[in-house]
């Protein structure tokens, strides 16, 4: 056996993805709101990119143009300074005035501050603002702060006073006092051990509460969750009407999730990428005006590319920047074009849904759309990921249109989404005193020409968030 290093030649075909192709695929998959953030970042990093002016804003643009050009000139000068420093002494470069770098840093810091979105106050900030006005002892305030930041997302406290005392090396009574301070804060229910503890805390704040109401929370909370009213009535001796009155009181007087108001992200939302418009009885897909900022190359800096030909290194640096700007603009345009083509084919196939609603949604596979549009199925998957379409029936996630189906009695294919919608309507119209079991739901769907197995009904019911017939029953 011969050991050693050898060289050999081998011919093979391999698909190589360029950085530009990878960037185009990433932009295609990026949701609209994230794409806008990415465009803003590219505008800051590449001075060759600029927003295309709106003709209606020409007058305002002319007023802002000198200031904008000055800012871009400062940014460009700083980049050239950095490039010349990397080139080392003795190389040719452009001369610049002194002191511009510090001023530019200040401009960037101020711009960052100006562009930081205003956010709502968080729950820890809200609780700490209350703690600071209580004039607490510094040592107690330190433990209170620890307790506040130990709360989970639902404002519950998992650690005991003993555990907190061990973590902070403080006396147990001090930890207990800190927990009580937080439990007395608003909204009521902070630092609760569980739901039962939270509801009892809130009932204590209300003053007089019917004994039955407190008894339900203290001893029968699990039975309430399972809708076991007959068991509760038997053990408490109360009537169904009395129990339902106490339940209604709990629903209106108590808040099981008092921290939810502080967890909402008001900046997030659903923004459709395309909109369906009916014209002369036909549906057309159009991009929303202004949904994606229009980008263009700055003509001023293309001139600077010509002026820099005398220095190869600076010229190469500028050429790479302008090529990156071109690729980014092309990737954004390609994204919009691909989404519109795919959405257009979806709309063409779902005419019945657009006119009559979800029950007329047809089964559709990504491969069918890919073949019709002439792209790979992975392109369709990227194009619909996180994208929304505005239709006459409302705004929908584009993924919702892709699902399998079942054959109805008349021979037509019915989509899973349409079956779910039909199932939901049956449950909404049932007798609440005698809700339908899954077997009965199978029979009701069969009457409408939809034949599916019981296990499928159970799966769809759970996916829709519909409880079992036992829990749906009203007494």
Res 360: pLDDT: 78
Question: What pLDDT does 92 receive?
Answer: 38
- pLDDT given at position 453: 85
How many domains in the chain? 3
| 3-state SS assignment for residue 165 | helix
The verdict on 128 and 223 lying in the same domain is yes
* Residue 56 in domain: no
Asked if 299 and 383 sit in the same domain, the reply is yes
Out of 239, 262, 285, a domain closes at 262
Give the chain's largest Cα–Cα span.
97
Cis peptide before 334 (omega within 30 of 0): no
Please say which residue of 368, 399, 430 terminates a domain: 399
Please indicate, yes or no, whether residues 249 and 354 belong to a single structural domain of this protein: no
Q: Which domain holds residue 293?
A: 274-399
Q: Are 216 and 229 in contact (CB under 8 A)?
A: no
Cα separation of 239 and 9, whole Å? 89
Per-residue model confidence (pLDDT) at position 171: 92
Looking at 383, 399, 415, the residue that finishes a domain is 399
Q: Which helix (H) or strand (E) holds 398?
A: none
Cα separations in angstroms, 348 against 282, 285, 362: 9, 10, 11
**The CATH number of the domain where 434 resides is what?**
1.10.10.60
Cβ–Cβ < 8 Å for 191, 123: no
- Is residue 369 located within the same domain as residue 417? no
Residue 257 to residue 156: CA distance in whole angstroms: 10
* Residue 144: predicted pLDDT: 93
Mean pLDDT by 10-residue block, N- to C-terminus, for the chain (475 residues)?
69 62 82 85 82 58 47 49 46 38 46 42 87 89 92 89 90 94 93 93 87 92 87 91 90 89 56 87 79 77 70 80 85 90 91 82 85 89 88 86 66 71 88 88 85 85 84 79
């Amino acid at each position: 056996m011969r050991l050693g290093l050898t060289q050999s030649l081998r011919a093979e075909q391999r698909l190589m993805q360029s950085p530009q192709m990878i960037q185009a695929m990433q932009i295609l998959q990026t949701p609209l709101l994230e794409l806008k953030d990415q465009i803003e970042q590219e505008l800051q990093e590449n001075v060759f990119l600029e927003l295309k002016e709106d003709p209606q804003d020409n007058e305002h643009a002319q007023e802002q143009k000198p200031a904008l050009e000055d800012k871009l000139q400062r940014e460009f000068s700083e980049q050239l300074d950095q490039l010349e420093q990397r080139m080392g002494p003795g190389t040719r470069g452009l001369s610049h005035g002194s002191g511009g770098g510090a001023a530019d840093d200040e401009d960037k810091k101020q711009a960052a501050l100006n562009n930081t979105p205003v956010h709502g106050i968080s729950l820890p900030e809200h609780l700490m603002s209350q703690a600071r006005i209580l004039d607490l002892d510094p040592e107690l305030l330190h433990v209170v702060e620890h307790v506040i930041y130990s709360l989970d997302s639902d404002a519950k406290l998992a650690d005991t006073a003993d555990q907190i005392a061990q973590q902070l090396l403080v006396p147990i009574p001090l930890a207990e006092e800190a927990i009580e301070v937080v439990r007395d804060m608003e909204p009521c229910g902070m630092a609760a051990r569980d739901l039962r503890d939270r509801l009892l805390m809130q009932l204590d704040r209300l003053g007089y509460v019917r004994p039955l109401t407190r008894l339900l929370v203290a001893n029968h909370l699990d039975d309430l969750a399972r809708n076991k009213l007959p068991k509760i009535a038997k053990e408490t001796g109360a009537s169904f009407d009395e129990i339902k009155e106490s339940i209604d009181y709990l629903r209106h007087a108590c808040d099981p999730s008092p921290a939810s108001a502080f967890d909402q992200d008001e900046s997030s939302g659903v923004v459709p990428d395309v909109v369906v418009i009916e014209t002369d009885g036909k549906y057309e897909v159009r991009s929303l005006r202004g949904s994606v900022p229009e980008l263009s190359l700055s003509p001023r800096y293309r001139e600077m590319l010509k002026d820099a030909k005398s220095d190869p290194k600076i010229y190469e640096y500028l050429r790479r920047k302008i090529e990156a700007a071109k690729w980014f603009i092309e990737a954004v345009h390609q994204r919009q074009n691909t989404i519109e083509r795919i959405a257009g084919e979806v709309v063409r196939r779902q005419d019945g849904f657009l006119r009559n609603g979800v029950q007329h949604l047809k089964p559709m596979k990504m491969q069918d759309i890919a073949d019709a549009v002439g792209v790979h199925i992975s392109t369709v998957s990227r194009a619909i990921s996180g994208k929304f379409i505005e239709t006459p029936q409302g705004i929908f996630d584009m993924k919702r249109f892709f699902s399998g189906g079942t054959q109805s009695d008349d021979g037509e294919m019915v989509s899973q989404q349409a079956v779910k919608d039909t199932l939901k309507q049956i449950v909404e119209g049932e007798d609440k005193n005698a809700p339908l079991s899954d077997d009965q739901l199978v029979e009701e769907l069969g009457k409408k020409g939809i034949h599916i197995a019981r296990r499928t009904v159970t799966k769809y019911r759970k996916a829709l968030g519909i409880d079992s017939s036992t829990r749906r029953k009203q007494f």
